[in-house]
Amino acid sequence: MKADFNRKEFFRCKILTERISGGSFVAKSLKLEDVKYVFTLSGGHINPIYKGLIEEGVPIITTRHEQAAGNAAEGWAKTTRTPGVCLVTAGPGFSNVLPALISAYYAHSPVFAITGHTALRDLNKHAAQEVDHLPLAIPTTKYARMVYNTHRIPEYMQEAFRICTAENMGPVLLDIPVDILTLESDVEAARPFFGLQPKQYRPKGYRYPDPLLVKQVADHLLKAKNPVIIAGSGVYWGRASNNLVALAEYLSIPVAYDDLGKGSLPELHPLAIGSAIQNILLNQADFILALGVIFGEYQGYGTNPAFYSEDVKFVHVDPEATEVGKNRPLELGIACSIKPFLGELLNAVKILKPKVKLHNEWAKIIKGDRNQLEEMISGPVDSDEIPIKPQKLTKDIQEFLDNDTRLFLDGGDTTVWANLILKALYPGQIIGSHGPTGHLGAGLPMGIAAKLAEPEKNIMILSGDGSFLFNGAEIDTAIRYDLPLTIIIENDSLWGMIAHNQDLSWGERIGTTLDEKNHIDYVKFAESLGGQGELVTRPEDVPSAIKRAINSGTVTVVDVRVDGSVTNILNQSAAAKADPSFWE
C-alpha cells in the first residue's frame, strides 16, 4: 500500500522551517569564517547585511571613504595573512573601493569585497546608483560573481572564500542585489551549504615539489660559486621565513628581498643584502634562486644587465604557475608551495653536502660590498642640516622598530628611503602599503586594521605629505574606535618622486609642487579630527617627537619638514627614461 500523504502536516512543517534574510545568510557565513571585523561605509543597498552583522555580533568598522575600507581590508590581510573583508554599497560605493581591489590583486592580498547592487527587478531601469559592477571587477579580482537567489548566498560565500585563500591568494568580489539581501529563504533550501565550517569546503595542506626537480636545484646551488636568493612576497604569504633562514644559514647564501619579502630573513642578519630593486650587487651572482618574486620594471624585468650578469642561471619558484618564467628565461621553473620547497631543498642539500657552509667567503664579500653601497646611496643619515634630510629622519625611526612595533610605508620617495635605510627585524614588520601598483593613501587605513588585529603592538605609519591626504580623514576613524597610531609625515611639500624626476630630466617642476603658500597645517588637521600633532623642523628634535607620539595614547601626527631637493637612486634611474634614446 502507498503511504498516506498528510497534506496538512506537510505544509505545517514547511511553515515551521526557519526562514532568514539574505543579509543574515551573509553575516552567518562571515561568522563561521571567524571574521573579526568588517570594514565598510554605509549605504542603503547593504543595510540588510548590517542588520545581520549586528545579530551575529560581527563588529563593523565604518570608514570615511570606501577606498579606505578596501585599504583597511588589505591591511588586515597583510598583517594577519588571513582574509580582510570590506562591504560597500552599489554604484559609487563600488567605484570608490575598486582602486583598493586593484592594489590587492597585484599584491596577491586575500581581500573579500561584498557589494550591494540594484534590485534584480529594477535592473536596466535607471534605478538609484545602478552600475554594472562585474565587467569592471572581473579583470582585477580572482573571482567576481552576482548572486541571483537568496538561498544560494552561503554557497557563493564559501566559493569566494575558497578562491580568495587558495594559492596564489587574491581579492574576490560578491555582488548581491538589495532584494536578494532583503528577501527571506528557508534554511533548508540553502543546504547542504548552510552552516558549514571552513574545513568542509576549503582545501588544506601544501603543494609539494617534484623531488627530481628539487635535486636539480640542489645541484645548481652546490655548483654555484656566487649564489643569491631573492625572497619575494610569496615567501611572506607562504609563511616560509623559517625555512628560508635555515637554508641560507646552512650554505651561507646571501639573501635579497623584494616587496613583502622584507624581513623574511631579518635584515640585521649577516646574510641580508637589502632590496633586490636596483641592486647592482646581484650582478655578481652566477646563480639566483627567486622565491615568490614578480620580475617587473623595478626588478629590471629580470634581464637588465646592470643588475644581472649575462650568464647568470635562474631558478624561479612560485605558487602561481603563470608567473614562473615570466619576463626572463630560466634554468628551471617550479610551480609549488614555497615553504615545503625550501624544506625539501634543505634536506636534499644536506644529503649531498653535509655540515658545510659552502659559500661563506662569498657571503662575506657581498655583505662588505652591500655596506659600502648603502653608505654611498643613502647619503647623510647623520646630517644636522636644516631642512632635515629625509635620510636622517628615516634613520631616526629605526631605533623605534623593536619586536613590538609594525610600520606601514606610504608614498614614493618616502618608501624608497625607508627600504634603503630601515631594517625589518621580522617578516611583515615593515609593509609597503602601495603594493606593486604604487597605490597611494593606503598607509593610514592599513595601520587602523593592523591596530585592530594587534592591539598590543605599536603601529606606526611613515607617509609622504602628498599620499597622507588621500585618506587623512581616517584619523577620525582611528579616534572613533580608540586606536592609538603614530603617523610620521615626511613633508617636502612635493609629489617628491615625480618632482625629482622632473628636476633631473628637465630642470623644471610641472604640477608637482604642494603647499606653495605654506598654508597647510597638519597639526591643526589632526586636532580637528580629534587627534593631536607636532611640527618638527630641527633634526635633533625628531627622536623625542616620535617618542612623545608613541606614548601619547592617541592618534598623533608628527609633521617633519624635510629637504625637498634630495634625490635617491630610483629618481636617478627614472630620469634616464626622459631621454628618447632610452626607448629606441
Residue 2 lies in a domain: no
CATH number, residue 153 = 3.40.50.970
CA–CA dist 192, 154 (Å, integer) = 9
Find residue 185's DSSP bridge partners.
20
Integer angstrom CA distances of residue 278 from 59, 207, 505: 43, 32, 19
CA–CA dist 98, 115 (Å, integer) = 11
Angle of CA points 142, 166, 145, to nearest 5°: 35
The answer to whether 429 and 401 have CB atoms below 8 angstroms apart is yes
Instruction: Please give the average per-residue pLDDT across 247-273, as a whole number.
Output: 95
Residue 206 lies in a domain: no
pLDDT at 5: 52
- Report the mean per-residue pLDDT for the chain: 93
pLDDT band for position 4 (50/70/90)?
Answer: low
pLDDT at 364: 84
Q: Is the pLDDT of residue 374 over 90?
A: no
pLDDT at 372: 79
Assigned C-alpha cell, 227: 649564489
Instruction: Please give the average per-residue pLDDT across 525-549, as a whole number.
Output: 98
The answer to whether 298 and 277 have CB atoms below 8 angstroms apart is yes
Please tell me whether residues 442 and 344 are part of one structural domain.
no
Angle of CA points 76, 79, 83, to nearest 5°: 45
- What residues contact residue 242 under an 8 Å CB cut-off, 6+ apart? none
pLDDT at 139: 96
Q: Is the pLDDT of residue 383 over 90?
A: no
Please tell me whether residues 320 and 457 are part of one structural domain.
no
Residue 425 sits in which domain range?
379-575
Instruction: Please give the average per-residue pLDDT across 365-380, as a whole number.
Output: 77
pLDDT at 6: 59
Assigned C-alpha cell, 145: 560573481
Please tell me whether residues 171 and 314 are part of one structural domain.
no
Residue 581 lies in a domain: no
CA–CA dist 117, 280 (Å, integer) = 50
Q: Is the pLDDT of residue 241 over 70?
A: yes
Between 94 and 8, where is the model more confident? 94
Please tell me whether residues 168 and 232 are part of one structural domain.
no
Phi-psi category of 151—alpha, beta or left, where left has phi over 0 and alpha has psi -120 to 50? alpha
pLDDT at 581: 78
Please tell me whether residues 136 and 277 are part of one structural domain.
no
* Kind and range of the H or E run holding 11: helix 7-16
Please tell me whether residues 437 and 568 are part of one structural domain.
yes
- What residues contact residue 389 under an 8 Å CB cut-off, 6+ apart? 379, 380, 381, 383, 539, 562, 563, 566
Residue 1 lies in a domain: no
The answer to whether 349 and 250 have CB atoms below 8 angstroms apart is yes
Please tell me whether residues 361 and 394 are part of one structural domain.
no
The answer to whether 448 and 483 have CB atoms below 8 angstroms apart is yes
Half-sphere exposure of 219 (CA within 13 A, CB side): 8
Instruction: Please give the average per-residue pLDDT across 258-275, as a whole number.
Output: 95
CA–CA dist 227, 240 (Å, integer) = 19
Instruction: Please give the average per-residue pLDDT across 235-259, as a whole number.
Output: 96
Last residue of a domain, one of 200, 223, 238: 200
Last residue of a domain, one of 155, 181, 200: 200
Instruction: Please give the average per-residue pLDDT across 449-475, as a whole number.
Output: 98
Q: Is the pLDDT of residue 277 over 90?
A: no
Q: Is 272 helix (H, G, I), strand (E, B) or coil?
A: strand
Residue 228 lies in a domain: yes
CA–CA dist 82, 74 (Å, integer) = 10
pLDDT at 8: 52
Q: Would strands 332-335 and 272-275 be described as parallel, antiparallel, or unpaired?
A: unpaired
Please tell me whether residues 430 and 566 are part of one structural domain.
yes
pLDDT at 193: 95
Residue 54 lies in a domain: yes
CA–CA dist 268, 248 (Å, integer) = 14
Please tell me whether residues 445 and 423 are part of one structural domain.
yes
The answer to whether 229 and 390 have CB atoms below 8 angstroms apart is no
CA–CA dist 569, 504 (Å, integer) = 12
pLDDT at 13: 47
CATH number, residue 245 = 3.40.50.1220
Q: At what angle do helices 542-550 and 390-398 cross, to 10 degrees?
A: 50
DSSP assignment string, 81-121: SS-EEEEE-STHHHHHHHHHHHHHHHHT--EEEEEEE--GG
DSSP assignment string, 560-583: EEB-TT---HHHHHHHGGGSGGGG
What percentage of the chain has pLDDT greater than the value 70? 96
The answer to whether 255 and 244 have CB atoms below 8 angstroms apart is yes
* Kind and range of the H or E run holding 508: none
Task: Find, among 41, 37, 133, the residue nearest to 471 by Cα.
Answer: 41
Domain count, the chain: 3
Task: Find, among 296, 313, 317, the residue nearest to 240 by Cα.
Answer: 317
Please tell me whether residues 252 and 316 are part of one structural domain.
yes
Q: Is the pLDDT of residue 373 over 80?
A: no
pTM reported for the whole predicted model = 0.94
Assigned C-alpha cell, 133: 559592477
What percentage of the chain has pLDDT greater than the value 90? 78
pLDDT at 12: 47
Q: Is 142 helix (H, G, I), strand (E, B) or coil?
A: coil
CA–CA dist 201, 193 (Å, integer) = 9
Residue 6 lies in a domain: no
Last residue of a domain, one of 323, 346, 373: 373
Please tell me whether residues 546 and 411 are part of one structural domain.
yes
Between 126 and 570, where is the model more confident? 126
Q: Is the pLDDT of residue 188 over 90?
A: yes
How many residues belong to the chain?
Answer: 584
Please tell me whether residues 393 and 308 are part of one structural domain.
no
Task: Find, among 376, 392, 321, the residue nearest to 540 by Cα.
Answer: 392
Q: Is the pLDDT of residue 1 over 50?
A: no
Residue 34 lies in a domain: yes
